[in-house]
Amino acid sequence: MSNKVTNVTVAATMRRRLPRRRTEAGLLVVGATVVVFATILESIALTGALPDHAVEFLIALLVIGIAVQAVNRYFVPDADPVIVPVALVLNGIGYVMIERGDATQAGQQVAWTGLGLLLYTAVLYTVRRSRDLERYRYLMLVAAFLLLISPLVPGIGLKVNGARLWVHLSSLEFQPVEIAKLLLVIFFASYFVDKRELLTVPTKRVGDRLLPDLRAFGPMAIAGVMALLIILAEDDIGFSLILFLVFLTMIWVTTGRWTYVVIGLGAFVLAAFVASHALVQVNTRISDWINPWADPTGRGFQPVQGELAFGRGGLFGTGIGFGLASNNNVLPVGSSDFIFAIIGEELGLVGALGVVFAFSVIVGAGLRAARRARSEFARLCATGLTATLGLQAFLIMAGDTRLLPLTGVTLPFVAYGGSSLVANYALLALLMRISNEGNQLPESTAPSRSRIEDATTIGVGGR
């Protein structure tokens, strides 16, 4: 009987597993087709001919597709099938828009994509169980702080566009904060799970009321405040805002207490008010957000050009290759900060909404992985990682459309930037690991009635 049950379990697992990877393969083919057509349209619009690198490009897409399928089938066969294909489509669309403005940057983006996929594989190979990460929370906290302070170290730190977020080692330049934010999410997830009861259950009496013991917030608050202070010392508000919002999201998911969210938002409003008066960069960005037309050729130049790009795009866009915003003279940082505006111009409102929908799909898949997670740590970790990706995408798209002030973060997978691209592929690997665990059949050595009935139904060892 045990052999029959084992055969049934294996067969049932394969029935659940194969459709997911087949779905993923189909989505990879569809995504590759979209990117190929976009590349062809761009080349025809600019040169009137097919791209010179068409064969190499097709081979590269084929290699990426086969490699991704092989890695996922081996390491995470039960993981969600839509996460990686959608991210690769966004990556491909971003490549087309970057190549439109700067072929050199596009070549570098391809190299960073390859490195990101290698890191994706390395994370899946290293992290075989998500709960293993929980044991190294303080080591990750130390590593995160070392990464955060590295741009402040004389000799290796660089200040670019007013923010000191870059580190250069020989010819290599990157933003350590991109990896640090992932490590901090893992730390907070582990700490919240460990202190959940103290954070949730009222145990301290204040007058005639019981409140949670605030001492549990000590190490967490110190870590959070130090991280924010370091990032603000680097003249950056984008990543500090993301970390703060992810922190609020995770503590609300952990405790279910709106009190923490209200207090956190109140602290945010106060901090924003102080920062707008104390930090020149924050004050400038808020002023440019409120009225960029006050100085349309100076500080408000890029926000104004972004608005005009969306206006020229209309509903269906000017067509790939026919936009003006990709020209560096029109929009100097179009490939990074304003790539969403380029998409809005060349693909129109429909294309811009397609990008929003793609990120919504990834966020939805991430939250589904969190809901199905096998442990509280995995659930909270998946929530934090998903919130990090979703909030970063929202903040930059909202900044380009002037819904919010510009934050200086990059649009994940789409915008030019090696550090962001590589870090986000590592984020996807962790989400895929948690999704794979949540979709696996429960382990049980005892034969159940349903399994015996399955054996009869599918004819494995039964008559």
pTM of this prediction?
0.87
- Asked, for residue 149, whether it belongs to a domain, the answer is no
Q: Are residues 202 and 397 in contact, defined by beta-carbon separation less than 8 angstroms?
A: no
- Asked, for residue 41, whether it belongs to a domain, the answer is no
pLDDT of the residue at 451? 38
Across 180-243, where does the E strand assignment appear?
A: 204-206, 209-211
Task: Count how many domains the chain has.
Answer: 1
Q: Does the pLDDT value for residue 191 go beyond 90? A: no
CA distances from 278 to 233, 234, 239, 283, 315 (A): 12, 14, 18, 8, 41
**Between residues 283 and 131, which one has the greater pLDDT?**
131
* Whole-number average pLDDT of the chain: 82
pLDDT digits (tens, 9 = 90+) for 326-375: 676 677 777 888 999 999 999 999 999 999 999 999 999 999 999 999 99
Q: Distance between CA 124 and CA 102 in Å, rounded?
A: 33
- Asked, for residue 4, whether it belongs to a domain, the answer is no
Q: Does the pLDDT value for residue 453 go beyond 70? A: no
- Give 203's strand partners: none
pLDDT of the residue at 64? 93
Q: What is the DSSP letter of 293?
A: G
- Asked, for residue 185, whether it belongs to a domain, the answer is no
pLDDT of the residue at 32? 93
Which tokens sit at 338? Answer: 């304003």
Beta strands 172-174 and 204-206 are unpaired
Q: Does the pLDDT value for residue 302 go beyond 80? A: yes
Across 157-214, where does the E strand assignment appear?
A: 157-160, 163-169, 172-174, 204-206, 209-211
Burial of 226 (0-12, 13-18, 19+ CB in 10 A): middle
Half-sphere exposure in the Cβ direction for 389 (13 Å, CA): 32
- Asked, for residue 239, whether it belongs to a domain, the answer is yes
Q: Are residues 24 and 69 in contact, defined by beta-carbon separation less than 8 angstroms?
A: yes
Q: For the range 104-107, what are the long-range contacts, defined as Cβ-Cβ under 8 Å and sequence gap of 24 or more? A: 105/335, 105/416
- Of the ranges 18-32, 47-61, 226-240, which is most confident? 18-32
Which tokens sit at 120? Answer: 């994706």
Segment among 118-132, 137-151, 263-277 with least mean pLDDT: 263-277
- Asked, for residue 162, whether it belongs to a domain, the answer is no
Q: Does the pLDDT value for residue 208 go beyond 80? A: no
- Give 139's strand partners: none
Q: Does the pLDDT value for residue 143 go beyond 70? A: yes
pLDDT of the residue at 445? 39
Q: Does the pLDDT value for residue 392 go beyond 90? A: yes
Burial of 301 (0-12, 13-18, 19+ CB in 10 A): middle
Give residue 413's domain range: 79-129+234-439
pLDDT of the residue at 313? 92
pLDDT digits (tens, 9 = 90+) for 108-133: 999 999 999 999 999 999 999 999 99
Provide the angle, in degrees to the nearest 10, between the axes of the packed helices 449-458 and 2-47.
70
> What contacts 25, CB < 8 A, 6 or more positions away?
65, 69
- Asked, for residue 111, whether it belongs to a domain, the answer is yes
pLDDT digits (tens, 9 = 90+) for 409-418: 889 999 998 8
pLDDT digits (tens, 9 = 90+) for 419-444: 899 999 999 999 999 999 999 866 54
Q: Is 316 strand, coil or helix?
A: coil
- Asked, for residue 241, whether it belongs to a domain, the answer is yes
